[in-house]
Structure 1
Amino acid sequence: MSAVLILGGTAEARALAAELHDAGRPVVSSLAGRVARPRLPAGEVRIGGFGGPDRLAAWLRDHEIAAVVDATHPFAARISASAAHAAPAAGVPLVRLERPGWTARPGDDWHRVATLDDAAATVARLGARRVFLTSGRQGLPAFAGLDAPWFLIRCVDPPDCALPPRSEVLLDRGPYGLDGERALLDRHAIDVLVTKDSGGDHTAPKLDAARERGIPVVVVDRPPRPGVPTVTTVAAAVEWLQ
């Protein structure tokens, strides 16, 4: 039986790999390798990029892959674009598994922006004094020029890039609970939260805590995605594969 390639790294990707593996379906999960100690899914795992869409197409043909599930992070735009080109070129079916984005609820004070640079400008416009920055370490240079606010930067691995001059790094990995997020906001006197619209339940409690505290939230919208078939649940992805 030919294998399914899961472009992964997300909780949904791991859940899908586990379900396919338990059902006896060969599965290969591909991780970008940006996290030092990733949570490994069931089945075969490869780490690192493919070298562009043409090489990915060749890899799909060489390994006789039956189908591709793009279950990467909503902000991993490059690999999604590569898969959208490579899968049709190799004659392999492709589906995107993407969790729905977050929706503002009554009481939220959200400021939606298109880019991290826009988020930094919004932080300055809001006159933030103490910012909880949860947008990932790769986007930290966008905030490096802000010297007025103090930043609490939460990420999985230590950042190796320019940081805001007044900042503290908190190394932690979700999922996070509401009580913990409340305590974090209170302990550090946070007055603005910055996040990407990652969606899902694992990191959503910070939004609930910010709503309770009346804290403005700067939300970076997801980048545009290629027009490929898309499902929003692991069950729907399994059904598509069947």
Structure 2
Amino acid sequence: MHVLILGGTAEARALAGLLHGTPGIRVTSSLAGRVASPRLPAGEVRIGGFGGAEGLAEWLREHAVDAVIDATHPFAERISFNAAGAAATAHVPLLALRRPGWVPVEGDDWRDVASLEEAARALDGLGDRVFLTTGRLGLATFADCPQWFLVRSVDAPDTPMPARTELLLARGPFDLPAERDLIARHRIDVLVTKDSGGAATSPKLTAAREAGIPVVVVRRPPVPEGVPVATTPEGAAAWAATAARPGASRVR
């Protein structure tokens, strides 16, 4: 049985590790190629796009894929819709592995917004020193903002940045003591983040709460309807092991 994992996340790597070497299962992980030196999962790996939903459907047929698991980042909106369209076209079962989103707790001061553009506008009046952790691809949205920004990214941005910017190249996971120190050392007034979910980057939320600073949180984009969901790699692995059986799409 050939399983294609659309990955790049920690959950995707964990899933590939669970499936790799399992008798009767061949696993291929597909990475978008947006990170210069990605952490490679176990099993076969391909890097690069497919050419939209039609290109992905053709790839599924050519490589005799029996099941697809969309374990991409929660904000990789386009590939999730392409995966749903391709799976339907190629008549291949599809599962989404989605980590739960973050939930505010007592003491949090969160400002929910629907986009990076709204996040940039929401900064007015929240302070002058911004810790921006939304990734390098959307950095140009903040290019005209007057605030000072601490930008944390895995790779160096190649898009316009705010005039007052300090760049911090780092890859998670990040621990709470380090996040506390970063916020205090840079005298951060406000944190801007996407609702990526998971534990790898969540300590910044705790550090912001402890420091009493507001957090601008970009909500997740829409996802394709009708796609069964698993919230853990173990749940996705169990689905993959039985994907050819009737009723396998009913995952909780």
* TM-score bin, normalised by smaller chain: over 0.9
User: 1:238 and 2:237 equivalent?
Assistant: yes
Which residue does 1:160 correspond to in 2? 158
Displacement of 1:113: 0.2
Does structure 1 conserve the Cα–Cα contact (< 8 Å) formed by 2:173 and 2:201? yes
Q: Mark the CA change 1:105 to 1:127 in structure 2 (over 3 Å): closer, same or farther.
A: closer
Which residue does 1:195 correspond to in 2? 193
Q: Name the aligned partner's letter for residue 232 of structure 2.
A: T
Does structure 1 conserve the Cα–Cα contact (< 8 Å) formed by 2:126 and 2:190? no
Displacement of 1:79: 0.4
User: 1:78 and 2:78 equivalent?
Assistant: yes
**Residues 178-227 of structure 1: per-residue CA shift (max 9 Å, x gap):** 00000000000001000000000000000000000001000000000001
Q: How many residues align?
A: 239
Unaligned runs of 5+ in 1: none
TM-score for both structures, normalised by structure 2: 0.94
Displacement of 1:22: 3.3
Which residue does 1:178 correspond to in 2? 176
CA distance in 2, matches of 1:58, 1:107: 50
TM-score for both structures, normalised by structure 1: 0.97
Displacement of 1:127: 3.6
User: 1:53 and 2:53 equivalent?
Assistant: yes
CA distance in 2, matches of 1:163, 1:78: 24
Q: Name the aligned partner's letter for residue 136 of structure 1.
A: G
CA distance in 2, matches of 1:133, 1:53: 32
Q: Name the aligned partner's letter for residue 173 of structure 1.
A: R
* Identity fraction in percent: 62
SS at match of 1:33: coil
Which residue does 1:130 correspond to in 2? 129
Unaligned runs of 5+ in 2: 242-252
What is the correspondence of 1:1-242 to structure 2 with a 5 Å cutoff? 2-24=1-23, 25-124=25-124, 126-147=125-146, 149-227=147-225, 228-242=227-241
Q: Name the aligned partner's letter for residue 234 of structure 2.
A: A
CA distance in 2, matches of 1:109, 1:240: 38
